[in-house]
A = this chain, B = another copy of it.
Amino acid sequence: MSGGRAVTGPEIDRLMTLLARLPGLGPRSARRVALHLIQNRETALRPLMAALGDVAERVRPCSICGNFDTRDPCAVCADPRRDDGLICVVEDVADLWAMDRAGAFAGRYHVLGGVLSALDGVGPDDLTIPALETRCAVGAVREVVLALGATVDGQTTAHVIADRLATVAPGLTVSSLGQGVPVGGELDYLDDGTIGAALRARRPV
């Protein structure tokens, strides 16, 4: 009888629409989140606004590795306890975070920004492969660990990078993650134990 008559104003509707577009949320969870925020204005809504504002104003990609941080170079690149001789190459920042949560790698990182894809027209210059070559050519890098997904595009990318690094830095060891990475699996969804095992079992390409 009253279908189409709005009980929520445009402000709440807009909030629910934006929340429903976030990964993992749908219309139903967006409603629950919106209500939770309205009902907890001081303890949830305002702190979330402040945190979003901080991130929006201050977080930038690191100019060296591509990680997100308020500092540039980022906390990882600036950390003196990390080994400059090791670079772990990942597809995106989610993978960098996943690698580091495993706690099995104490070197530096390099975020590619994607993987090569003939289908999607992604070539080496669309990724940060040239920057990686520069880091390996001029730095004191001993080994590059290619921590890319065990997908066709991920493995193609690993081979292309290994070939190009062999040219610009002939003495460099290039390895890839070993056993433990499920075929077709994505790093961000792996448990820490699997990531750690894969890192220990890394092997030359």
Q: Name A's B-contacting residues (CB within 8 A).
A: 1-9, 11-12, 14-15, 18-19, 21-25, 29, 31-39, 41, 44-49, 51-56, 58-59, 67-71, 74-76, 79, 81-82, 92-94, 96-97, 100, 103-106, 109, 188
CB <8 Å contact, A18 and B56: no
Closest to A39 in B: B93
Cα distance, A70 to B12, chains bound together (Å): 9
Q: Which residues of B contact A39 (CB under 8 A)?
A: 93
CB <8 Å contact, B51 and A15: yes
Cα distance, A30 to B127, chains bound together (Å): 26
Given the interface contacts A38-B55, A44-B18, does A7 sit within 8 Å of B97 by beta carbon? yes
Given the interface contacts A8-B68, A11-B70, A31-B94, does A82 sit within 8 Å of B52 by beta carbon? no
Q: Which residues of B contact A7 (CB under 8 A)?
A: 67, 74-76, 96-97, 100, 109
CB <8 Å contact, A100 and B52: no
Given the interface contacts A33-B23, A69-B9, does A1 sit within 8 Å of B51 by beta carbon? no
Given the interface contacts A94-B31, A94-B32, A97-B31, does A51 sit within 8 Å of B18 by beta carbon? yes
Cα distance, A74 to B12, chains bound together (Å): 13
Given the interface contacts A9-B75, A59-B9, does A33 sit within 8 Å of B44 by beta carbon? no
Cα distance, A93 to B39, chains bound together (Å): 10
Given the interface contacts A49-B49, A56-B41, does A75 sit within 8 Å of B6 by beta carbon? yes
CB <8 Å contact, A49 and B52: yes
